[in-house]
Amino acid sequence: MPSELEYEELRALVRSRVQLDRRTAGLRLAGIDQDAVSQTDTWFIPPRKVDWDWERLVRQKRGAALDLSIWHEDMLCGLAFGSAQAAWLELGYVETRPYDHPLGKQIMAIALAVLELNAVVLEISETRIRNPFPDLRWRYIRHGYNELVKDGYTTYLCKRRGTREQ
């Protein structure tokens, strides 16, 4: 099992690779740090669609967990966080800047690309989206997340490696 430092190095490598693959000028992918968390404090008008406690979430980061801040130059455009289990990686929290930004509607696609490449690097065959908003499921299905799994109060949309995007 890798150390926390090795997991952080793997996350950084994955973020760099996805950043290169996206070929988007100004795109910068990083972990969630205090600068990113403090920028979300200014996201109050219009009201945020979600109001995740990013500082608390990042403190829960362990092992192969995903933490991602998505920037366009110096503008924070989105954040994503997910936990890791032995058999899968999950994307549990995503938030997009509530104002117009240069990355438009790309935040979820970027977060999924990072999640899926993390899974490949760690040789984990399944990725999941936890409690997906019902109105957005069609978007996740287009990315290959088509298996609905319920586990107690939690619902997941799952994708196993090799599942084709539609």
Write out the residue range of the structural domain in which residue 18 sits: 4-125
pLDDT tens digits for range 106-136: 999 999 999 999 999 999 999 999 999 888 8
Tokens for 13?
Answer: 């490598």
User: 141 lies in a domain?
Assistant: no
User: 14 lies in a domain?
Assistant: yes
pLDDT tens digits for range 42-101: 887 777 778 788 989 888 888 888 999 999 999 999 999 999 988 999 999 999 998 889
User: 136 lies in a domain?
Assistant: no
Q: Residue-wise over 85-116: b if at least 16 C-beta within 10 A, else e?
A: eeebbbbbbbbbbeeebebeebbbebbbbbbb
Report the number of distinct structural domains present in the chain: 1
Confidence of residue 41 (pLDDT cuts 50, 70, 90): confident
Confidence of residue 164 (pLDDT cuts 50, 70, 90): low
Q: Letter for the amino acid at 85?
A: Q
How far is Cα of residue 129 from the mean position of the Cα atoms in its chain? 9
**DSSP 8-state symbol, 161:** T
How far is Cα of residue 117 from the mean position of the Cα atoms in its chain? 11
CATH at residue 97: 3.40.630.30
Closest CA to 26 of 143, 110, 95, 82: 110
User: 60 lies in a domain?
Assistant: yes
pTM recorded for the entire structure: 0.92
User: 108 lies in a domain?
Assistant: yes
User: 49 lies in a domain?
Assistant: yes
Residue 3 burial (C-beta neighbours within 10 Å; 0-12, 13-18, 19+): exposed
Closest CA to 150 of 124, 165, 125, 128: 128
Q: What are phi and psi of 134, to 5 degrees?
A: -55, -35
